[in-house]
Chains A and B, each alone.
Chain A
Amino acid sequence: MKLQISSRLAIFALIELASEPERQISVSEIGEKYGVSAHHLAKVMHTLGRAGLVRSIRGVGGGYSFSGNARRTTLLDVIMLFEDATMSDRELEKNADSTAAEWALGRILFEIDDTAKATLGSITIATMLKQIARRKGAVDLKTVVG
């Protein structure tokens, strides 16, 4: 499964904002960190805002803050805002009229997609933050121990 750039940016932006929920972060700050244009990121943030996951704060020192529920928002919830993750279900239905070989291959691809969707649907923003913290802890420990 390959994620569209907008989905990836949305996940990165939410992780940045949810890691410091009290802080307002500008689009350019997030854009610089991930090497993307503020213009592209602004569109992504607008979609996240409409979904109630981020709040826009205007004025000097303004930017975005996280307004969702990090323990309830899954990666699949975010991805579904930007791309059609139900494609594999439709492909399987279409396969009902296909040849036996097409049906067999379609079934395997469906299995892969279904597993990917279940995985993305079980990982919340909070879980991502915990995973990042664990990784940072492990890297810090490695640095100290050498």
Chain B
Amino acid sequence: MDTHKDASGTASVLQIDIRRVREADLPQVVALDERVTQIAKPDYWRDIYDRYAERRVGERFFLVAEDAGDAAEFPLLGYIVGEIRAWEFGSEPCGWVFAFSVEPGTRLQGIGERLFEAMSTEFKNIGIKTMRTMVARHNQLHMAFFRSEGMVAGPYLQLEMDLDE
């Protein structure tokens, strides 16, 4: 059980459990994503579940954080999705995180850190030495979080071009 203080200094008790996603979690994952992004994507998450929770699960990880407490306001506190990738030019296989979210009302209580650490452990357990992600450089929330967990700029640079130019 983790005891934390929220941003207002009020003590809160969360019983955070990290585990693999279950099909029954899907509506809560969709709802959390919608609360954060303002876009409901049930078909997208169904597809992610089918591909990342049902197939090649030895190298694909769809983890959720749940509040196992009896009076949990939000039973599903967050999720993180990642997989082993080796598709960049000459890249050694790495652990790639491509989806990550924490319930806005429960942030700053260590949930993101627990999810991140759990994903790191999964990657380490199968011999992966590097974990990567891609974040919009002006997305300060995600940038600050991944930085605080020790991530730094890697050797690859994302490039793009406007095809209408």
Q: Which residues of A contact B (CB under 8 A)?
A: 71, 74, 114-115, 118-119, 121-124, 126-127, 130-131, 134
Pairwise interchain contact A118-B137, C-beta atoms closer than 8 A: yes
| Smallest Cβ-Cβ distance to A69: which chain B residue | B7
Is B140 interfacial (CB 8 A cutoff)? yes
Residue of A nearest to B138 (CB): A118
Contact B144 A122 (CB under 8 A): yes
Q: Which of B140, B148, B153 contacts A121 (CB 8 A)?
A: B140
| B144 and A124 form a contact (CB under 8 A) | yes
Main secondary structure of the interface of A (DSSP, over half): helix
- The number of chain B residues touching the other chain, given as a range, is 10 to 19
Report the minimal beta-carbon distance from B149 to chain A, rounded to whole angstroms: 8
| Chain A residue contacts of B148, Cβ below 8 A | 71, 124, 126-127, 130
Does the CB pair B150–A122 fall under 8 Å?
A: no
User: Is B147 part of the contact surface with A, judged by Cβ < 8 Å?
Assistant: yes
The answer for the CA separation of A114 and B138 in the assembled complex, in Å, is 9
- A134 adjacent to B150 (CB under 8 Å): yes
> Sorted from nearest, which 6 A-B pairs have the closest CB atoms?
A122-B143, A118-B137, A127-B148, A122-B144, A127-B147, A122-B147
Extra A-B contacts (13), CB below 8 Å, given A118-B143, A121-B143: A71-B148, A115-B137, A118-B138, A119-B137, A122-B144, A123-B147, A124-B147, A126-B148, A127-B144, A127-B147, A127-B148, A130-B150, A131-B150
Q: Which of B117-159 contact A (CB under 8 A)?
A: 137-138, 140, 143-144, 147-148, 150, 153
Collect the chain B residues with CB atoms within 8 Å of residue A123's CB: 144, 147
Q: What is the CB-to-nearest-CB distance from B116 to chain A, in angstroms, rounded to a whole number? A: 13
